[in-house]
Structure 1
Protein backbone atom coordinates (compact mmCIF):
# COMPACT_ATOMS: atom_id res chain seq x y z
CA UNK A 1 0.00 0.00 0.00
CA UNK A 2 1.24 3.55 -0.62
CA UNK A 3 2.67 5.26 2.44
CA UNK A 4 2.10 8.98 2.82
CA UNK A 5 3.80 11.23 5.30
CA UNK A 6 4.09 14.94 5.77
CA UNK A 7 7.73 15.64 6.51
CA UNK A 8 6.86 18.57 8.74
CA UNK A 9 4.13 17.04 10.82
CA UNK A 10 5.54 13.56 11.07
CA UNK A 11 2.37 12.01 9.69
CA UNK A 12 -0.14 14.54 11.08
CA UNK A 13 -2.80 16.19 8.98
CA UNK A 14 -2.28 19.29 6.89
CA UNK A 15 -4.37 21.42 9.20
CA UNK A 16 -1.82 21.39 11.97
CA UNK A 17 1.35 21.26 9.91
CA UNK A 18 3.72 24.15 9.57
CA UNK A 19 1.78 26.99 11.27
CA UNK A 20 3.47 27.33 14.61
CA UNK A 21 6.54 29.33 13.60
CA UNK A 22 4.86 32.44 12.19
CA UNK A 23 5.65 34.06 8.86
CA UNK A 24 8.71 36.04 7.84
CA UNK A 25 6.74 39.30 7.92
CA UNK A 26 5.44 38.62 11.43
CA UNK A 27 8.98 38.14 12.73
CA UNK A 28 9.79 41.71 11.71
CA UNK A 29 6.51 43.22 12.88
CA UNK A 30 8.04 45.73 15.32
CA UNK A 31 10.27 47.17 12.64
CA UNK A 32 7.31 47.54 10.31
CA UNK A 33 5.38 49.45 12.98
CA UNK A 34 8.31 51.83 13.45
CA UNK A 35 8.69 52.32 9.70
CA UNK A 36 4.95 53.04 9.43
CA UNK A 37 5.12 55.71 12.13
CA UNK A 38 8.14 57.42 10.57
CA UNK A 39 6.65 57.27 7.08
CA UNK A 40 3.30 58.79 8.11
CA UNK A 41 5.09 61.63 9.89
CA UNK A 42 7.16 62.46 6.81
CA UNK A 43 4.10 62.23 4.52
CA UNK A 44 2.35 64.94 6.50
CA UNK A 45 5.44 67.13 6.39
CA UNK A 46 5.91 66.63 2.64
CA UNK A 47 2.27 67.38 1.79
CA UNK A 48 2.42 70.66 3.70
CA UNK A 49 5.83 71.45 2.24
CA UNK A 50 4.71 70.61 -1.30
CA UNK A 51 1.61 72.79 -1.09
CA UNK A 52 3.51 75.70 0.45
CA UNK A 53 6.46 75.49 -1.94
CA UNK A 54 4.51 74.55 -5.08
CA UNK A 55 6.83 71.61 -5.76
CA UNK A 56 5.31 68.69 -7.72
CA UNK A 57 8.38 66.60 -6.96
CA UNK A 58 7.78 67.02 -3.24
CA UNK A 59 4.10 66.10 -3.62
CA UNK A 60 5.10 63.10 -5.75
CA UNK A 61 7.47 61.95 -3.06
CA UNK A 62 4.72 62.45 -0.48
CA UNK A 63 2.33 60.36 -2.55
CA UNK A 64 4.94 57.65 -2.90
CA UNK A 65 5.53 57.61 0.84
CA UNK A 66 1.78 57.50 1.47
CA UNK A 67 1.68 54.41 -0.73
CA UNK A 68 4.54 53.03 1.35
CA UNK A 69 2.54 53.63 4.51
CA UNK A 70 -0.51 51.95 3.01
CA UNK A 71 1.57 48.98 1.94
CA UNK A 72 3.18 48.63 5.36
CA UNK A 73 -0.22 48.87 7.07
CA UNK A 74 -1.58 46.15 4.75
CA UNK A 75 1.47 44.00 5.48
CA UNK A 76 0.96 44.38 9.23
CA UNK A 77 -2.69 43.36 9.02
CA UNK A 78 -1.84 40.49 6.70
CA UNK A 79 0.93 39.23 8.98
CA UNK A 80 -1.56 39.05 11.84
CA UNK A 81 -4.08 37.16 9.71
CA UNK A 82 -1.34 34.80 8.52
CA UNK A 83 -0.66 33.61 12.07
CA UNK A 84 -4.25 32.56 12.71
CA UNK A 85 -4.59 28.79 13.07
CA UNK A 86 -5.48 26.59 10.13
CA UNK A 87 -8.95 25.12 9.83
CA UNK A 88 -10.50 22.26 7.89
CA UNK A 89 -11.81 24.79 5.38
CA UNK A 90 -8.43 26.58 5.08
CA UNK A 91 -5.73 24.01 5.71
CA UNK A 92 -2.93 26.57 5.32
CA UNK A 93 -4.72 29.13 7.44
CA UNK A 94 -4.54 32.67 6.05
CA UNK A 95 -0.84 32.69 5.24
CA UNK A 96 -1.53 33.67 1.62
CA UNK A 97 -2.96 36.95 2.97
CA UNK A 98 0.60 38.26 2.95
CA UNK A 99 0.93 37.55 -0.75
CA UNK A 100 -2.37 39.31 -1.49
CA UNK A 101 -1.10 42.28 0.52
CA UNK A 102 2.08 42.33 -1.57
CA UNK A 103 -0.07 42.24 -4.71
CA UNK A 104 -2.09 45.26 -3.56
CA UNK A 105 1.14 47.05 -2.71
CA UNK A 106 2.62 46.42 -6.17
CA UNK A 107 -0.54 47.70 -7.89
CA UNK A 108 -0.66 50.84 -5.74
CA UNK A 109 3.01 51.50 -6.42
CA UNK A 110 2.51 51.16 -10.18
CA UNK A 111 -0.56 53.41 -10.20
CA UNK A 112 1.33 56.11 -8.32
CA UNK A 113 4.23 55.97 -10.78
CA UNK A 114 1.86 56.45 -13.72
CA UNK A 115 0.12 59.39 -12.01
CA UNK A 116 3.41 61.17 -11.29
CA UNK A 117 4.62 60.75 -14.87
CA UNK A 118 1.35 62.02 -16.38
CA UNK A 119 1.24 65.01 -14.02
CA UNK A 120 4.86 65.89 -14.73
CA UNK A 121 4.32 65.79 -18.50
CA UNK A 122 1.31 68.09 -18.08
CA UNK A 123 3.45 70.66 -16.25
CA UNK A 124 6.34 70.62 -18.70
CA UNK A 125 5.21 73.63 -20.78
CA UNK A 126 4.18 75.72 -17.78
CA UNK A 127 6.22 74.82 -14.68
CA UNK A 128 5.07 76.76 -11.57
CA UNK A 129 7.30 78.85 -9.33
CA UNK A 130 8.80 76.90 -6.44
CA UNK A 131 9.82 78.11 -2.96
CA UNK A 132 13.18 76.35 -2.83
CA UNK A 133 13.89 76.99 0.86
CA UNK A 134 10.86 75.03 2.03
CA UNK A 135 11.38 72.45 -0.70
CA UNK A 136 14.99 71.74 0.30
CA UNK A 137 14.33 71.60 4.03
CA UNK A 138 11.49 69.10 3.72
CA UNK A 139 13.40 67.01 1.15
CA UNK A 140 16.44 66.69 3.44
CA UNK A 141 14.26 65.63 6.39
CA UNK A 142 12.50 63.09 4.16
CA UNK A 143 15.81 61.68 2.92
CA UNK A 144 17.06 61.21 6.48
CA UNK A 145 13.82 59.47 7.50
CA UNK A 146 13.96 57.20 4.46
CA UNK A 147 17.52 56.22 5.28
CA UNK A 148 16.48 55.21 8.80
CA UNK A 149 13.58 53.13 7.43
CA UNK A 150 15.87 51.50 4.86
CA UNK A 151 18.23 50.35 7.60
CA UNK A 152 15.31 48.98 9.63
CA UNK A 153 14.07 46.89 6.69
CA UNK A 154 17.43 45.82 5.23
CA UNK A 155 17.70 42.41 6.92
CA UNK A 156 14.05 41.36 6.68
CA UNK A 157 13.70 42.14 2.96
CA UNK A 158 15.57 38.91 2.14
CA UNK A 159 12.92 36.82 3.94
CA UNK A 160 9.54 38.35 3.07
CA UNK A 161 7.91 39.68 -0.11
CA UNK A 162 6.04 42.24 1.96
CA UNK A 163 9.22 43.50 3.57
CA UNK A 164 10.95 43.43 0.20
CA UNK A 165 8.14 45.51 -1.24
CA UNK A 166 8.40 48.00 1.62
CA UNK A 167 12.20 48.06 1.27
CA UNK A 168 12.00 48.80 -2.47
CA UNK A 169 9.46 51.53 -1.88
CA UNK A 170 11.59 53.18 0.81
CA UNK A 171 14.60 52.89 -1.50
CA UNK A 172 12.56 54.66 -4.16
CA UNK A 173 11.61 57.31 -1.62
CA UNK A 174 15.26 57.85 -0.74
CA UNK A 175 16.16 58.31 -4.40
CA UNK A 176 13.10 60.55 -4.79
CA UNK A 177 14.13 62.73 -1.86
CA UNK A 178 17.63 62.99 -3.32
CA UNK A 179 16.13 64.04 -6.66
CA UNK A 180 14.04 66.70 -4.90
CA UNK A 181 17.14 68.03 -3.14
CA UNK A 182 19.04 68.24 -6.43
CA UNK A 183 16.09 69.93 -8.14
CA UNK A 184 15.80 72.45 -5.30
CA UNK A 185 19.49 73.32 -5.55
CA UNK A 186 19.25 73.75 -9.34
CA UNK A 187 16.18 76.02 -9.07
CA UNK A 188 17.75 78.07 -6.26
CA UNK A 189 21.01 78.62 -8.15
CA UNK A 190 19.83 78.90 -11.76
CA UNK A 191 16.09 79.64 -11.64
CA UNK A 192 15.40 76.68 -13.97
CA UNK A 193 11.95 75.67 -12.64
CA UNK A 194 11.63 72.72 -14.98
CA UNK A 195 14.09 70.96 -12.69
CA UNK A 196 11.13 70.21 -10.43
CA UNK A 197 9.27 68.56 -13.33
CA UNK A 198 12.37 66.58 -14.31
CA UNK A 199 12.75 65.36 -10.73
CA UNK A 200 9.10 64.27 -10.73
CA UNK A 201 9.61 62.30 -13.95
CA UNK A 202 12.72 60.68 -12.48
CA UNK A 203 10.78 59.60 -9.40
CA UNK A 204 7.98 58.08 -11.51
CA UNK A 205 10.39 56.27 -13.83
CA UNK A 206 12.34 54.93 -10.86
CA UNK A 207 9.22 53.55 -9.18
CA UNK A 208 7.63 51.87 -12.21
CA UNK A 209 10.10 49.00 -12.88
CA UNK A 210 10.32 48.19 -9.18
CA UNK A 211 6.56 47.85 -9.00
CA UNK A 212 6.67 45.53 -12.01
CA UNK A 213 9.42 43.39 -10.44
CA UNK A 214 7.47 42.99 -7.21
CA UNK A 215 4.30 42.17 -9.16
CA UNK A 216 6.13 39.41 -11.07
CA UNK A 217 7.32 37.82 -7.84
CA UNK A 218 3.81 37.90 -6.38
CA UNK A 219 2.33 36.36 -9.52
CA UNK A 220 4.91 33.56 -9.37
CA UNK A 221 3.74 32.70 -5.85
CA UNK A 222 0.05 32.85 -6.79
CA UNK A 223 0.68 30.60 -9.80
CA UNK A 224 2.58 28.21 -7.51
CA UNK A 225 5.77 28.41 -9.53
CA UNK A 226 8.84 26.59 -8.24
CA UNK A 227 10.48 28.70 -5.49
CA UNK A 228 13.32 30.81 -6.83
CA UNK A 229 16.69 29.23 -6.25
CA UNK A 230 15.32 25.69 -5.90
CA UNK A 231 16.65 23.26 -8.54
CA UNK A 232 14.10 20.47 -8.94
CA UNK A 233 16.56 18.35 -10.92
CA UNK A 234 18.96 18.50 -7.98
CA UNK A 235 16.11 17.60 -5.61
CA UNK A 236 15.24 14.62 -7.79
CA UNK A 237 18.87 13.44 -7.87
CA UNK A 238 19.21 13.64 -4.07
CA UNK A 239 16.00 11.68 -3.53
CA UNK A 240 17.18 8.93 -5.89
CA UNK A 241 20.39 8.56 -3.84
CA UNK A 242 18.43 7.57 -0.72
CA UNK A 243 18.81 3.79 -0.07
CA UNK A 244 15.68 1.90 -1.11
CA UNK A 245 14.52 4.51 -3.63
CA UNK A 246 14.10 3.30 -7.23
CA UNK A 247 12.55 6.31 -8.96
CA UNK A 248 10.79 9.65 -8.45
CA UNK A 249 7.79 11.24 -10.15
CA UNK A 250 5.07 13.85 -9.58
CA UNK A 251 7.57 16.19 -7.97
CA UNK A 252 6.06 19.59 -7.12
CA UNK A 253 7.40 22.54 -5.13
CA UNK A 254 5.69 25.85 -4.45
CA UNK A 255 5.61 28.79 -2.05
CA UNK A 256 2.75 29.17 0.40
CA UNK A 257 3.91 32.57 1.62
CA UNK A 258 7.25 34.31 2.10
CA UNK A 259 9.65 31.99 3.89
CA UNK A 260 7.26 29.00 3.76
CA UNK A 261 7.96 26.61 0.87
CA UNK A 262 6.29 23.24 0.36
CA UNK A 263 7.06 20.10 -1.66
CA UNK A 264 5.22 16.92 -2.58
CA UNK A 265 6.56 13.89 -4.44
CA UNK A 266 5.78 10.26 -5.28
CA UNK A 267 8.72 7.99 -4.50
CA UNK A 268 9.00 4.47 -5.93
CA UNK A 269 10.76 2.07 -3.52
CA UNK A 270 12.20 -1.40 -4.05
CA UNK A 271 10.55 -4.69 -3.03
CA UNK A 272 12.92 -5.16 -0.10
CA UNK A 273 11.72 -1.91 1.45
CA UNK A 274 8.13 -3.15 1.24
CA UNK A 275 8.74 -6.78 2.25
CA UNK A 276 10.83 -5.85 5.30
CA UNK A 277 8.46 -3.03 6.27
CA UNK A 278 11.12 -0.34 6.09
CA UNK A 279 9.03 2.59 4.74
CA UNK A 280 9.56 4.53 7.96
CA UNK A 281 13.34 4.43 7.53
CA UNK A 282 13.10 5.61 3.95
CA UNK A 283 10.74 8.43 4.91
CA UNK A 284 13.07 9.59 7.67
CA UNK A 285 16.01 9.53 5.25
CA UNK A 286 14.05 11.51 2.64
CA UNK A 287 12.94 14.07 5.19
CA UNK A 288 16.47 14.50 6.53
CA UNK A 289 17.91 14.78 3.02
CA UNK A 290 15.61 17.59 1.91
CA UNK A 291 15.97 19.45 5.19
CA UNK A 292 19.77 19.26 5.08
CA UNK A 293 20.36 20.04 1.40
CA UNK A 294 17.44 22.29 0.49
CA UNK A 295 16.08 23.61 3.82
CA UNK A 296 12.66 22.18 2.88
CA UNK A 297 10.65 21.62 6.07
CA UNK A 298 7.15 21.08 4.71
CA UNK A 299 7.43 17.97 2.55
CA UNK A 300 4.87 15.31 1.71
CA UNK A 301 6.11 11.94 0.42
CA UNK A 302 4.06 9.15 -1.10
CA UNK A 303 5.92 5.83 -1.13
CA UNK A 304 4.72 3.30 -3.66
CA UNK A 305 5.85 0.00 -5.20
CA UNK A 306 7.03 -0.34 -8.77
CA UNK A 307 4.09 -0.74 -11.12
CA UNK A 308 1.76 1.50 -9.13
CA UNK A 309 2.16 4.58 -11.34
CA UNK A 310 -0.22 3.47 -14.16
CA UNK A 311 -3.04 3.40 -11.57
CA UNK A 312 -2.62 7.08 -10.72
CA UNK A 313 -4.19 8.58 -13.83
CA UNK A 314 -2.76 11.96 -14.88
CA UNK A 315 0.70 12.56 -13.52
CA UNK A 316 3.62 14.96 -13.74
CA UNK A 317 7.22 13.89 -14.26
Structure 2
Protein backbone atom coordinates (compact mmCIF):
# COMPACT_ATOMS: atom_id res chain seq x y z
CA UNK A 1 0.00 0.00 0.00
CA UNK A 2 2.86 2.40 0.75
CA UNK A 3 4.38 1.65 -2.66
CA UNK A 4 1.06 2.27 -4.43
CA UNK A 5 0.53 5.45 -2.40
CA UNK A 6 3.96 6.87 -3.32
CA UNK A 7 3.67 5.93 -7.00
CA UNK A 8 0.21 7.46 -7.46
CA UNK A 9 1.08 10.59 -5.48
CA UNK A 10 4.08 11.16 -7.75
CA UNK A 11 2.08 10.75 -10.96
CA UNK A 12 -0.75 12.88 -9.60
CA UNK A 13 1.72 15.77 -9.31
CA UNK A 14 3.15 14.98 -12.76
CA UNK A 15 -0.34 15.08 -14.31
CA UNK A 16 -1.24 18.32 -12.53
CA UNK A 17 1.94 20.05 -13.78
CA UNK A 18 1.45 18.59 -17.29
CA UNK A 19 -2.16 19.82 -17.33
CA UNK A 20 -0.96 23.35 -16.61
CA UNK A 21 1.74 23.16 -19.32
CA UNK A 22 -0.38 21.53 -22.05
CA UNK A 23 -3.65 23.32 -21.30
CA UNK A 24 -5.49 19.98 -21.08
CA UNK A 25 -8.58 19.90 -18.89
CA UNK A 26 -8.78 16.13 -19.37
CA UNK A 27 -5.35 15.72 -17.77
CA UNK A 28 -6.38 18.02 -14.93
CA UNK A 29 -9.53 15.99 -14.32
CA UNK A 30 -7.51 12.77 -14.40
CA UNK A 31 -5.11 14.27 -11.85
CA UNK A 32 -8.15 15.08 -9.70
CA UNK A 33 -9.39 11.53 -10.07
CA UNK A 34 -5.94 10.17 -9.19
CA UNK A 35 -6.14 12.43 -6.14
CA UNK A 36 -9.09 10.30 -4.99
CA UNK A 37 -6.87 7.23 -5.26
CA UNK A 38 -4.10 8.85 -3.23
CA UNK A 39 -6.52 10.05 -0.54
CA UNK A 40 -8.30 6.69 -0.47
CA UNK A 41 -5.08 4.76 0.04
CA UNK A 42 -3.85 7.40 2.48
CA UNK A 43 -6.97 7.04 4.61
CA UNK A 44 -6.66 3.26 4.53
CA UNK A 45 -3.05 3.54 5.71
CA UNK A 46 -4.10 6.04 8.39
CA UNK A 47 -6.76 3.66 9.66
CA UNK A 48 -4.32 0.74 9.78
CA UNK A 49 -1.66 2.86 11.51
CA UNK A 50 -4.18 4.25 14.02
CA UNK A 51 -5.45 0.77 14.79
CA UNK A 52 -1.96 -0.54 15.49
CA UNK A 53 -0.19 2.43 17.11
CA UNK A 54 -2.62 5.05 18.41
CA UNK A 55 -2.71 5.02 22.19
CA UNK A 56 -5.82 5.52 24.27
CA UNK A 57 -5.43 8.06 27.06
CA UNK A 58 -7.65 9.57 29.71
CA UNK A 59 -8.71 12.27 27.26
CA UNK A 60 -8.79 10.11 24.08
CA UNK A 61 -10.52 6.94 25.20
CA UNK A 62 -11.12 5.81 21.61
CA UNK A 63 -7.67 6.75 20.33
CA UNK A 64 -7.47 8.55 16.98
CA UNK A 65 -9.79 6.40 14.89
CA UNK A 66 -11.98 9.36 13.91
CA UNK A 67 -9.07 10.97 12.03
CA UNK A 68 -9.88 8.73 9.05
CA UNK A 69 -13.45 10.02 8.95
CA UNK A 70 -12.36 13.66 9.18
CA UNK A 71 -9.90 13.05 6.34
CA UNK A 72 -12.68 11.49 4.28
CA UNK A 73 -14.88 14.56 4.75
CA UNK A 74 -12.00 16.87 3.79
CA UNK A 75 -11.38 14.65 0.77
CA UNK A 76 -15.00 14.98 -0.32
CA UNK A 77 -14.93 18.78 -0.04
CA UNK A 78 -11.70 19.06 -2.04
CA UNK A 79 -12.89 16.64 -4.71
CA UNK A 80 -16.17 18.50 -5.11
CA UNK A 81 -14.20 21.69 -5.66
CA UNK A 82 -11.88 20.09 -8.26
CA UNK A 83 -14.71 18.37 -10.16
CA UNK A 84 -16.86 21.51 -10.15
CA UNK A 85 -13.97 23.63 -11.42
CA UNK A 86 -13.26 21.21 -14.28
CA UNK A 87 -16.91 21.12 -15.38
CA UNK A 88 -17.35 24.91 -15.15
CA UNK A 89 -14.07 25.55 -16.98
CA UNK A 90 -15.04 23.09 -19.73
CA UNK A 91 -18.36 24.89 -20.26
CA UNK A 92 -16.53 28.22 -20.36
CA UNK A 93 -14.18 26.93 -23.07
CA UNK A 94 -16.89 25.49 -25.34
CA UNK A 95 -17.24 28.62 -27.46
CA UNK A 96 -13.51 28.78 -28.15
CA UNK A 97 -11.61 25.61 -27.14
CA UNK A 98 -7.92 26.41 -26.57
CA UNK A 99 -5.17 24.56 -28.38
CA UNK A 100 -3.90 21.56 -26.45
CA UNK A 101 -0.39 20.09 -26.75
CA UNK A 102 -1.60 16.59 -27.63
CA UNK A 103 1.85 14.96 -27.77
CA UNK A 104 2.92 15.69 -24.19
CA UNK A 105 -0.67 15.08 -23.07
CA UNK A 106 -0.58 11.59 -24.62
CA UNK A 107 2.83 10.77 -23.12
CA UNK A 108 1.78 11.78 -19.60
CA UNK A 109 -1.58 9.97 -19.91
CA UNK A 110 0.18 6.73 -20.95
CA UNK A 111 2.63 7.08 -18.03
CA UNK A 112 -0.33 7.64 -15.69
CA UNK A 113 -2.04 4.53 -17.05
CA UNK A 114 1.10 2.47 -16.40
CA UNK A 115 1.29 3.84 -12.85
CA UNK A 116 -2.31 2.78 -12.28
CA UNK A 117 -1.62 -0.70 -13.65
CA UNK A 118 1.33 -1.13 -11.26
CA UNK A 119 -0.75 0.12 -8.29
CA UNK A 120 -3.59 -2.19 -9.34
CA UNK A 121 -1.25 -5.20 -9.28
CA UNK A 122 0.25 -4.15 -5.93
CA UNK A 123 -3.18 -3.96 -4.25
CA UNK A 124 -4.89 -6.94 -5.90
CA UNK A 125 -3.86 -9.66 -3.44
CA UNK A 126 -4.51 -7.54 -0.33
CA UNK A 127 -7.98 -6.59 -1.57
CA UNK A 128 -9.18 -10.08 -0.68
CA UNK A 129 -8.11 -9.71 2.96
CA UNK A 130 -8.91 -6.12 3.96
CA UNK A 131 -11.90 -3.87 3.34
CA UNK A 132 -9.63 -0.82 3.50
CA UNK A 133 -7.33 -2.23 0.83
CA UNK A 134 -10.31 -3.30 -1.27
CA UNK A 135 -11.64 0.26 -1.26
CA UNK A 136 -8.28 1.58 -2.48
CA UNK A 137 -8.11 -1.21 -5.07
CA UNK A 138 -11.51 -0.24 -6.51
CA UNK A 139 -10.44 3.43 -6.62
CA UNK A 140 -7.41 2.52 -8.74
CA UNK A 141 -9.51 0.27 -10.97
CA UNK A 142 -11.83 3.21 -11.70
CA UNK A 143 -8.87 5.46 -12.48
CA UNK A 144 -7.60 2.97 -15.06
CA UNK A 145 -10.66 3.68 -17.21
CA UNK A 146 -10.23 7.43 -16.71
CA UNK A 147 -6.63 7.27 -17.95
CA UNK A 148 -7.79 5.36 -21.01
CA UNK A 149 -10.30 8.15 -21.71
CA UNK A 150 -7.55 10.79 -21.58
CA UNK A 151 -5.41 8.72 -23.97
CA UNK A 152 -8.33 8.47 -26.40
CA UNK A 153 -8.82 12.25 -26.26
CA UNK A 154 -5.11 12.85 -26.97
CA UNK A 155 -5.16 10.45 -29.92
CA UNK A 156 -8.29 12.07 -31.37
CA UNK A 157 -6.73 15.54 -31.09
CA UNK A 158 -3.48 14.31 -32.67
CA UNK A 159 -5.23 12.67 -35.64
CA UNK A 160 -8.08 15.11 -36.26
CA UNK A 161 -7.29 18.33 -34.44
CA UNK A 162 -10.74 18.19 -32.82
CA UNK A 163 -10.03 20.09 -29.59
CA UNK A 164 -13.48 19.36 -28.17
CA UNK A 165 -12.34 15.81 -27.34
CA UNK A 166 -10.35 17.23 -24.42
CA UNK A 167 -13.40 19.08 -23.08
CA UNK A 168 -15.70 16.08 -23.45
CA UNK A 169 -13.37 13.76 -21.54
CA UNK A 170 -12.82 16.41 -18.86
CA UNK A 171 -16.57 16.81 -18.30
CA UNK A 172 -17.07 13.02 -18.31
CA UNK A 173 -14.41 12.54 -15.62
CA UNK A 174 -15.75 15.46 -13.57
CA UNK A 175 -19.27 14.05 -13.67
CA UNK A 176 -17.86 10.63 -12.77
CA UNK A 177 -16.17 12.05 -9.68
CA UNK A 178 -19.14 14.06 -8.35
CA UNK A 179 -21.44 11.12 -7.39
CA UNK A 180 -18.54 9.39 -5.65
CA UNK A 181 -17.76 12.62 -3.83
CA UNK A 182 -21.37 12.88 -2.67
CA UNK A 183 -21.41 9.31 -1.33
CA UNK A 184 -18.05 9.76 0.40
CA UNK A 185 -19.14 13.00 2.09
CA UNK A 186 -22.51 11.54 3.07
CA UNK A 187 -20.86 8.48 4.60
CA UNK A 188 -18.40 10.64 6.55
CA UNK A 189 -21.15 12.91 7.88
CA UNK A 190 -23.23 9.88 8.86
CA UNK A 191 -20.35 8.65 11.01
CA UNK A 192 -19.70 12.08 12.53
CA UNK A 193 -23.34 12.56 13.60
CA UNK A 194 -23.21 9.03 15.08
CA UNK A 195 -26.13 7.69 13.07
CA UNK A 196 -26.67 3.94 13.15
CA UNK A 197 -24.70 2.08 10.44
CA UNK A 198 -26.86 1.85 7.30
CA UNK A 199 -26.35 -1.91 7.00
CA UNK A 200 -27.62 -2.59 10.53
CA UNK A 201 -31.31 -2.94 11.40
CA UNK A 202 -31.59 -1.60 14.95
CA UNK A 203 -34.92 -3.37 15.43
CA UNK A 204 -33.22 -6.66 14.56
CA UNK A 205 -30.40 -5.94 17.02
CA UNK A 206 -32.92 -5.19 19.77
CA UNK A 207 -34.94 -8.32 18.99
CA UNK A 208 -31.82 -10.50 18.98
CA UNK A 209 -30.74 -9.21 22.39
CA UNK A 210 -34.22 -9.72 23.80
CA UNK A 211 -34.09 -13.33 22.61
CA UNK A 212 -31.01 -14.07 24.74
CA UNK A 213 -31.84 -16.44 27.62
CA UNK A 214 -32.31 -14.46 30.81
CA UNK A 215 -33.05 -11.10 29.13
CA UNK A 216 -36.50 -9.68 29.87
CA UNK A 217 -36.16 -6.40 27.99
CA UNK A 218 -33.68 -4.15 26.19
CA UNK A 219 -33.64 -0.36 26.31
CA UNK A 220 -31.31 2.60 25.79
CA UNK A 221 -29.80 0.80 22.78
CA UNK A 222 -27.31 2.79 20.69
CA UNK A 223 -25.21 1.59 17.75
CA UNK A 224 -22.81 3.85 15.87
CA UNK A 225 -19.63 3.73 13.79
CA UNK A 226 -16.31 4.79 15.28
CA UNK A 227 -14.43 4.53 11.98
CA UNK A 228 -14.83 2.43 8.84
CA UNK A 229 -15.31 -1.21 9.75
CA UNK A 230 -15.55 -0.56 13.50
CA UNK A 231 -19.08 -0.55 14.92
CA UNK A 232 -19.75 0.27 18.58
CA UNK A 233 -22.83 -0.42 20.69
CA UNK A 234 -24.20 0.24 24.16
CA UNK A 235 -27.41 -1.06 25.75
CA UNK A 236 -29.22 -1.71 29.01
CA UNK A 237 -30.32 -5.31 29.53
CA UNK A 238 -33.15 -5.89 31.99
CA UNK A 239 -32.57 -9.40 33.41
CA UNK A 240 -35.05 -11.96 34.67
CA UNK A 241 -34.83 -12.79 38.39
CA UNK A 242 -33.04 -16.13 37.94
CA UNK A 243 -30.79 -15.04 35.04
CA UNK A 244 -27.09 -15.94 35.06
CA UNK A 245 -25.49 -12.49 34.99
CA UNK A 246 -22.12 -13.55 33.53
CA UNK A 247 -23.68 -15.88 30.95
CA UNK A 248 -26.07 -13.20 29.69
CA UNK A 249 -23.26 -10.68 29.21
CA UNK A 250 -21.00 -13.19 27.46
CA UNK A 251 -23.78 -14.41 25.15
CA UNK A 252 -24.91 -10.88 24.32
CA UNK A 253 -21.41 -9.67 23.47
CA UNK A 254 -20.76 -12.75 21.33
CA UNK A 255 -24.09 -12.25 19.55
CA UNK A 256 -23.32 -8.61 18.73
CA UNK A 257 -19.86 -9.53 17.45
CA UNK A 258 -20.69 -12.65 15.43
CA UNK A 259 -24.08 -11.67 13.99
CA UNK A 260 -23.81 -7.90 13.67
CA UNK A 261 -20.01 -7.37 13.48
CA UNK A 262 -20.03 -4.97 16.46
CA UNK A 263 -16.41 -4.78 17.58
CA UNK A 264 -16.97 -3.07 20.93
CA UNK A 265 -20.07 -3.31 23.13
CA UNK A 266 -20.78 -1.78 26.53
CA UNK A 267 -23.71 -3.55 28.20
CA UNK A 268 -25.35 -2.59 31.48
CA UNK A 269 -27.25 -5.39 33.19
CA UNK A 270 -30.00 -4.53 35.66
CA UNK A 271 -32.88 -6.39 37.33
CA UNK A 272 -36.15 -6.31 35.42
CA UNK A 273 -38.00 -5.11 38.54
CA UNK A 274 -35.76 -2.06 38.99
CA UNK A 275 -38.91 0.07 38.72
CA UNK A 276 -37.49 2.49 36.21
CA UNK A 277 -34.36 3.39 38.19
CA UNK A 278 -32.36 2.83 34.99
CA UNK A 279 -34.48 4.40 32.30
CA UNK A 280 -34.15 5.51 28.68
CA UNK A 281 -32.24 8.77 28.19
CA UNK A 282 -34.27 11.85 27.36
CA UNK A 283 -32.24 12.95 24.30
Short-chain TM bin: 0.7 to 0.9
1:283 aligned residue: 249
The question of whether the paired residues in 2 share the 8 Å contact of 1:54 and 1:130 is answered with yes
Q: 2:14 aligns with which of 37, 45, 52?
A: 45
Question: Where in structure 1 are there 5+ consecutive unaligned residues?
Answer: 1-30
The one of 135, 143, 149 equivalent to 2:105 is 135
CA apart distance, 1:117? 1.0
1:55 pairs, out of 21, 24, 33, with 24
Change (3 A) 1:284 1:216: same
TM-score by length of 1: 0.78
Q: Which moved more, 1:181-190 or 1:304-313?
A: 304-313
| CA distance in structure 2 between the aligned counterparts of 1:62 and 1:295, rounded to whole angstroms | 36
1:67 is displaced (CA, Å) by 5.7
The residue that corresponds to 1:294 in the other structure is: 260
Structure-2 change in CA distance of 1:217 and 1:152 (3 Å): farther
Shift of 1:104: 1.1
Cα distance in 2 between the residues matched to 1:211 and 1:89: 32
Q: Kindly state the Cα deviation for residue 99 of structure 1 after the two structures are TM-superposed.
A: 0.9
Counterpart in 2 of 1:28?
none
Q: How many residues are paired up?
A: 279
Shift of the 73–296 alpha-carbon distance from structure 1 to 2, 3 Å rule, reads closer
Using CA pairs below 8 Å that are at least 6 residues apart, which structure has the higher relative contact order? 1
* Alignment CA distance shift 1:167-1:110 (3 Å): farther
**Cα distance between partner residues in 2 of 1:78 and 1:272:** 43
Residue correspondence of structure 1 range 38-117 to structure 2 within 5 A: 38-66=7-35, 68-69=37-38, 72-73=41-42, 76=45, 80-81=49-50, 83-117=53-87
Cα deviation for residue 107 of structure 1 reads 1.2
Contact 2:150 2:166 in 1 (8 A): yes
- CA RMSD of the aligned region, Å? 2.7
Deviation at 1:311, TM superposition (A): 2.5
For structure 2, list consecutive stretches of 5 or more residues without a partner in the other structure: none
The secondary structure found in structure 2 opposite 1:272 is: coil
Contact 2:106 2:151 in 1 (8 A): yes
C-alpha contact (below 8 Å) 1:172/1:207 kept by paired residues = no
2:211 corresponds to 1:207: no
- What's the secondary structure of 1:243's corresponding residue? coil
- Cα distance in 2 for partners of 1:315, 1:89 equals 24
2: CA distance, partners of 1:203 / 1:137: 19
Matches of 1:292 and 1:69 in 2, distance apart?
Answer: 33
CA contact (8 A) 2:220 2:236 kept: yes
